[in-house]
Copies of this chain bind each other. A is one copy, B any other.
Amino acid sequence: MTTPNHHVALRAELLLGRRKLNTRFHNLPPRTLKRGELMVTATSSADVIYYLSAGWACQFREFAASDQAIVDVYLPGDVIGLDAVWWPLPSEKVMSLTSVVVEVVIEAKHALFDLMTCRSTALYIAWLLGERQRRTNRHVAAISSLDASGRVATMLLDFHRRLSRSELITSSMYNLPLTQTQIAAYLGLTAAHVNRVLRSFRQERIATLENYCLTIFDLERLTRLAEDDSITSLGEGLFDEPTTRIVSLMK
């Protein structure tokens, strides 16, 4: 049914939508924020959509006082606020992790009507939301089924892949502006244990994180850690039928 032509047409339409969205803020002055500032607070209504031109940011949720979970990390080129525009009060906040330059895509909720009137823009926005969802799904799977070293490895590789895709990452080395406390809040661990995992990575010559700069030594082993390494030997289950093995969640 779906011929390659449709893929091409969809891709072209998405690119057009991105261009149209970008024209919205090319005449507006960008905003700059210092490290640690809140972008989408509970006070100001959340009807703002930002384009993150430079710097990192994170979206987090406060459970009780002094206990926060980082839900997502935004890198340069990401769009912030798409998931929160629809609701009057955001349940999460967005904070800059570094100095940050943002462009305002829309400022008030009624601008959504203009935005979604254009088909290519609407397609592009849905595409952005879908991509974000996919990223979060990977994160959920990693957090819920990998141990600490697997989670750290997944995070390091995810940042690396996203940076490589958009910016020019020369080699296996990039700037990672998260404190270990923030990494812990992102991965569902404690800062102490993140530190231990990083130390083991350093000792095993897999990767090292010094002064907020990550260097990957052994990409292959890092990738293996990020996948599920709980299966080291497969000798015992050799006589299982393939059906029970493949869909073991049921039947």
Contact = CB atoms under 8 A, between A and B. Distances in A.
A6 B109 contact: yes
A209 to B, nearest CB: 18
This chain's copy number in the assembly: 2
Q: Give the contact-size bracket for chain A.
A: 35 or more
Contacts of A136: 133, 136-137, 140
Contact of A137 (B83, B119, B134): B83
B141 A250 contact: no
Given A35-B250, A63-B141, A136-B133, A126 B125 contact: yes
A131 interface: yes
A182 interface: yes
Contacts of A10: 86, 109-110, 112-113
A145 interface: yes
A133 B36 contact: no
A165 interface: no
30 contacts: A1-B108, A10-B110, A10-B112, A36-B250, A60-B249, A61-B138, A63-B141, A63-B145, A64-B227, A64-B230, A65-B234, A65-B246, A69-B141, A71-B137, A71-B140, A72-B137, A82-B126, A83-B137, A84-B130, A85-B130, A86-B127, A87-B130, A91-B138, A97-B250, A113-B123, A116-B119, A129-B129, A129-B133, A143-B143, A185-B249
Interface of A: 1-2, 6-7, 9-10, 13, 35-36, 45, 47, 59-61, 63-72, 82-88, 91-92, 95, 97, 107-110, 112-113, 116-117, 119, 122-123, 125-127, 129-134, 136-141, 143-146, 179, 181-182, 185-188, 227-228, 230-231, 234, 237, 245-251
